[in-house]
A and B are shown apart, each in its own frame.
Chain A
Amino acid sequence: MFETMSLLHLQQYWWILVSILGALLVFLMFVQGGQTFLYTLPQTLEEKKLLVNSIGHKWEFTFTTLVTFGGAMFAAFPLFYATSFGGAYWVWLIILFCFIIQAVSYEYRSKPKNFLGTKTFDFFLFLNGSLGVILIGAAVSTFFTGSQFTVNAYNLSKWQHSLRGLEAAFNLTNLGLGLGVFFLARILGLLYFINNISNENIYQRAKAKLLPNVIAFLVFFLFFLISILLKEGFAYNPQTKLVSMEAYKYLHNLLEMPLVLGLFLIGVVLVLSGIIITLFKSSKKGIWFSGLGTILTVFSLFLIAGFNNTAYYPSVYDLQSSLTIENSSSSKYTLTAMSYVSLLIPFVIAYIYYVWKAMDKKKLDMDELSKEDNLY
């Protein structure tokens, strides 16, 4: 089945898969977004417990998706893995530290004799939800703005900026996406609380906090979007394999790939719909609309970064060192073998859906919480 596909088609297939994983990751960051409200949304200890346990039942999905995204990148595009992780050392290490401290925080925060105290673990969750998310957004934004590295004839890479990846956070466009993703995660976190928790006080406060976050999200995301659509992009010639700058490259990509444009627009509309029905129709299902919208929007952003003869991990230091899905991928054999493994993904999604539904069929409330003997 996959053996008959060309190498290019396999590379495209795997770019689509990592794009889906990236899109799912951003949606699942509602957990991170929710974490940033632990200081401001609840007014009592019980309310805080409701919030923590609501997102605490889901944190591992985000974590696992991040790890799988990394694994898929390693398997499908090892040159990206080697170049970016080995080069942008500090930005990735800080992101990883933010996730290490998250992994213990839910389980340990309310346990007796937890050494660091509940406040420290709650701060860890805040750090994960803020710094971790902003840096992930900034790092992904370099797919459009470029980084400073070289790749030699043996495909061994060398980072050329002394800040080792942290320089990404000092670029306004990158910061725009970083903060855009941060506020989007907060919006999704609020919508998730509204959907998952049965508590009028939390509902009212979450709803009230929605609008300021939506405004902040729109400002930063539109700044990022306009910046990349109007800037020069990193095009490559499929015949000569040479990379060159092309004016309005990402705008061209959207217009030249109508399906992607369609997905992008539907995604944006869905994100806004989820917010609108929550704000103006008092619906509690906004998370599903905005969640699906987030997936479609991020997915289409990944596609315009890597498709239509575009270098998805460009080097502004040496254009010809830029990574494309063609020059950075695994071999045809490996991509084929991995493609068979990818057939498991629908089953994985199916059992996640089934379990999610079974676990969330009853909303979380104080009564439900009092019955639990394993609380975060």
Chain B
Amino acid sequence: MIENIDISLVDWSRAQFALTAMYHWLFVPLTLGLTFIIAIMETIYVRTGDEEWKHITKFWMKLFGINFAIGVATGIILEFEFGTNWSNYSWYVGDIFGAPLAIEGIMAFFLESTFIAVMFFGWNRVSKKFHLLSSWLVAFGASLSALWILVANSWMQYPAGMHFNPDTARSEMLDFWQVLLSPVAANKFLHTIFSSYMVASMFVIAVSGWYLLKHREKLLSMRSIVIATTFGLIASLFTAYTGDGSAYQVAQIQPAKLAAMEGLYNGKNGAGLIVFGILNNNDNDRDEDDITMKIEIPKMLSILGYRNADAFVPGINDLVNGNKEHQIVSATEKINQGKIAIDALAKYKEAKKLNNQQAQDSLQKVFEENYKYIGYGYLNDPKSIIPNVPMTFYSFHIMVALGFYFIFFFMLVLYLAIKQKFENKKLILRLGILSFPLAFVASMAGWIVAEVGRQPWAIQDLLPTIVATSNIDASAVMLTFALFAVLFTVLLIAEIKIMISQIKSGPKGGSHV
């Protein structure tokens, strides 16, 4: 099926996708959250008629526009990259994966791109109410776009509603609703958008805090902080709630990811959740739990993963070597079954060419019996089912720690804002500015857990990343990686410089030369 595997090509293809996706994700959370914050502000303007709210709305809209443009620029490549760099993947799952991407275009992108023009240029051209409706539709469209791309991503983690068709040699959709309404998709969507709303709230708080420290734009800043902290607090609570849901789902469908998240090598009943810990050995090949300075909540991992304080949580060794007591099949056994499935598929193709129906039927039976682990058949080393443990472990703990930090931060700021004590709390204002980059760190860390933690799979258990690439030279991908790195970095510098300049000039400053 696959002629040969070029590891250098796989690594560069992964590096390029990671680079472009992470650049894109620098801008998406702000787009998702700011659209709602702007729509809320404009709603207050329309309801109260207070012109100051209009100025506030327009100011944040100006900053949103700068961010949105580069978000669009970095986003276009992601859709096409599935074709350019992951063409084997595109054929193998295009029957299922392509649908959400197309729906995203039809349902969400047109909604955004149509009404964003009204949002920016319609103040003097359409009625107040139509303008407000447009702002809400842009907010709705942005989150709708996130829904479809996260449905697609969730399907890679939890391939539901499909079967494999040996005649076409690809996965095909059996039930659209299972793809769309999969519990993983629902949870991932909510977790991602709420965490993005948090990031946007922190942006508003940081900019407003900077103004207050400079004794500027007091009314704008105070009002913006009240909106952003309320929105951010609600979002952060939902982020925590859906994060809990994510941990439960990961335990059920991606046990290796959960083990890596916790650095758990030897499974145990009543496993504890590590609140803080340092991995002593960053070598992925080790086989013992080796965490120092560990602070652990007893039994919490079992509760999170299985809703049972005494439940068994498999460790990496259990998943690699198998564990008969807990009916865990070893990676070696899965690799063997996968190879049988791949071999049966090849022979099925030959039998079909020879028009040998009897052989086809029996080979199809063998194939279907072993298909569950077909992806393992492309692996040779049982240990290759282990994701990068240090990266997953630290990203997970940084994300969770920051998530809780933001809940307390939003609560504190909201309390001070309500008591009107915010303005003079310079420490809190400075903390607000310093915390803004941490919101991005938390968001990025979440994606690292999700994507690095699911390796070696492009499609969980069915298609490893190593066979999903396009049939191209690694040197071509190295070159495009370098081009993207240079271009996106230059554009990022431009974006940051413009953003800082616009913030410094304030709501009454010129937005153009």
Q: Are A and B associated in one complex?
A: yes
Q: For residue B20, give the distance in angstroms from its CB to the closest CB of chain A.
A: 10
CB-nearest residue of chain A relative to B169? A154
Contact, CB under 8 Å: B125 / A359:
yes
Complex: how many Å from CA A90 to CA B473?
12
CB-nearest residue of chain A relative to B508? A373
Of A58, A76, A115, A371, which one neighbours B102 at CB under 8 angstroms? A76
Complex: how many Å from CA A337 to CA B66?
37
Contact status of A60 and B126, CB under 8 A, knowing A89-B472, A374-B65? no
CB-nearest residue of chain A relative to B93? A78
Which of A64-100 touch B at CB < 8 Å?
64, 66-68, 70-76, 78-79, 81-87, 89-90, 92-93, 96-97, 99-100
Contact status of A81 and B83, CB under 8 A, knowing A63-B72, A371-B124? yes
Is A157 part of the contact surface with B, judged by Cβ < 8 Å? yes
Is A334 part of the contact surface with B, judged by Cβ < 8 Å? yes
Contact status of A100 and B74, CB under 8 A, knowing A68-B110, A374-B120? yes
Q: For residue A192, give the distance in angstroms from its CB to the closest CB of chain B.
A: 15
Contact, CB under 8 Å: A156 / B104:
no
Contact, CB under 8 Å: B88 / A334:
no
Contact status of A78 and B95, CB under 8 A, knowing A86-B85, A112-B501? yes
Contact, CB under 8 Å: B125 / A362:
yes
Which of A155-187 touch B at CB < 8 Å?
155-159, 164
Please encode chain B, from 94 to 105, with 1 for each CB lying within 8 Å of some chain A CB and 0 for all others: 111111011111
Contact, CB under 8 Å: A68 / B470:
no
B contact residues around A108 at 8 Å (CB):
66, 69, 494-495, 498
Complex: how many Å from CA A115 to CA B90?
37
Is B497 part of the contact surface with A, judged by Cβ < 8 Å? yes
Q: Which of A202-210, A214-222, A345-353 contacts B (4 or more CB under 8 A)?
A: A345-353
Contact, CB under 8 Å: B498 / A90:
no
Which of B162-207 touch A at CB < 8 Å?
165, 168-170, 172-174, 176
Of A112, A153, A373, which one neighbours B505 at CB under 8 angstroms? A112
A contact residues around B168 at 8 Å (CB):
155, 331
Q: For residue B42, give the distance in angstroms from its CB to the closest CB of chain A.
A: 15
B contact residues around A86 at 8 Å (CB):
83-88, 90, 470-472
Of B79, B476, B512, which one neighbours A111 at CB under 8 angstroms? B512
A contact residues around B58 at 8 Å (CB):
373
Contact status of A351 and B494, CB under 8 A, knowing A74-B83, A100-B74? no
Of B73, B88, B95, B501, which one neighbours A103 at CB under 8 angstroms? B73
Contact status of A155 and B72, CB under 8 A, knowing A111-B512, A331-B173? no
Contact, CB under 8 Å: B94 / A74:
yes
Q: For residue A204, give the distance in angstroms from its CB to the closest CB of chain B.
A: 26
Contact, CB under 8 Å: B69 / A78:
no
Complex: how many Å from CA A75 to CA B76?
16
Complex: how many Å from CA A118 to CA B62?
18
Contact, CB under 8 Å: B109 / A338:
no
Is A110 part of the contact surface with B, judged by Cβ < 8 Å? yes
Is B511 part of the contact surface with A, judged by Cβ < 8 Å? yes
Complex: how many Å from CA A83 to CA B491?
31
Please encode chain B, from 107 to 139, with 1 for each CB lying within 8 Å of some chain A CB and 0 for all others: 101111111111011101110001000100000
Contact, CB under 8 Å: B73 / A100:
yes
CB-nearest residue of chain A relative to B175? A333
Is A101 part of the contact surface with B, judged by Cβ < 8 Å? yes
Complex: how many Å from CA A178 to CA B125?
37
A contact residues around B176 at 8 Å (CB):
333-334, 337
Contact status of A103 and B76, CB under 8 A, knowing A60-B117, A348-B106, A359-B125? yes
Contact, CB under 8 Å: B87 / A355:
no
Complex: how many Å from CA A82 to CA B84?
7
Complex: how many Å from CA A61 to CA B353?
47
Complex: how many Å from CA A233 to CA B497?
53
* Chain A interface residue bracket vs B: 35 or more
Contact, CB under 8 Å: B95 / A342:
no
Is B500 part of the contact surface with A, judged by Cβ < 8 Å? yes
Contact status of A352 and B110, CB under 8 A, knowing A89-B476, A156-B471, A374-B65? yes
Complex: how many Å from CA A66 to CA B1?
32
Of B74, B113, B501, which one neighbours A60 at CB under 8 angstroms? B113
Of A64, A111, A118, which one neighbours B105 at CB under 8 angstroms? A64
Is B302 part of the contact surface with A, judged by Cβ < 8 Å? no
Is A237 part of the contact surface with B, judged by Cβ < 8 Å? no
Is B210 part of the contact surface with A, judged by Cβ < 8 Å? no
Of B97, B121, B497, which one neighbours A374 at CB under 8 angstroms? B121
Of B98, B491, B511, which one neighbours A78 at CB under 8 angstroms? B98
Which of A82, A85, A106 is packed against the most chain B CB atoms within 10 Å?
A82
Of A61, A333, A337, which one neighbours B113 at CB under 8 angstroms? A61
CB-nearest residue of chain A relative to B168? A155
Contact, CB under 8 Å: A64 / B113:
yes
B contact residues around A230 at 8 Å (CB):
none
Contact, CB under 8 Å: B121 / A63:
no
Contact, CB under 8 Å: B106 / A79:
no
Q: For residue A375, give the distance in angstroms from its CB to the closest CB of chain B.
A: 5
Contact status of A75 and B102, CB under 8 A, knowing A82-B90, A115-B490, A337-B173? yes
Complex: how many Å from CA A359 to CA B116?
12
Complex: how many Å from CA A88 to CA B456?
27
A contact residues around B513 at 8 Å (CB):
110-112, 118
Is A201 part of the contact surface with B, judged by Cβ < 8 Å? no
CB-nearest residue of chain A relative to B20? A100
Complex: how many Å from CA A337 to CA B176?
7
Is B91 part of the contact surface with A, judged by Cβ < 8 Å? yes
Contact, CB under 8 Å: B74 / A355:
no
Contact status of A67 and B349, CB under 8 A, knowing A78-B98, A331-B95, A344-B107? no
Is B328 part of the contact surface with A, judged by Cβ < 8 Å? no
Contact status of A74 and B118, CB under 8 A, knowing A63-B76, A110-B512, A348-B110? no
Complex: how many Å from CA A97 to CA B84?
13
In the A-B complex, the 8 residue pairs with the closest CB atoms? A86-B87, A78-B94, A85-B83, A68-B105, A74-B98, A103-B73, A86-B470, A75-B98
Given contacts A68-B102, A352-B114, A374-B120, 14 further A-B contacts (CB under 8 A): A63-B72, A71-B79, A74-B97, A75-B102, A78-B170, A79-B94, A86-B87, A92-B83, A111-B511, A153-B169, A156-B88, A157-B87, A333-B174, A355-B117
Q: List 11 A-B contacts (CB under 8 A).
A: A72-B102, A78-B94, A79-B91, A84-B83, A112-B498, A113-B500, A331-B165, A333-B173, A355-B114, A374-B62, A374-B511
Interface residues of A (CB under 8 A from B): 57-58, 60-61, 63-64, 66-68, 70-76, 78-79, 81-87, 89-90, 92-93, 96-97, 99-104, 106-108, 110-116, 118, 153-159, 164, 330-331, 333-334, 337-338, 341-342, 344-345, 348, 351-352, 355, 358-359, 361-362, 368, 371-376
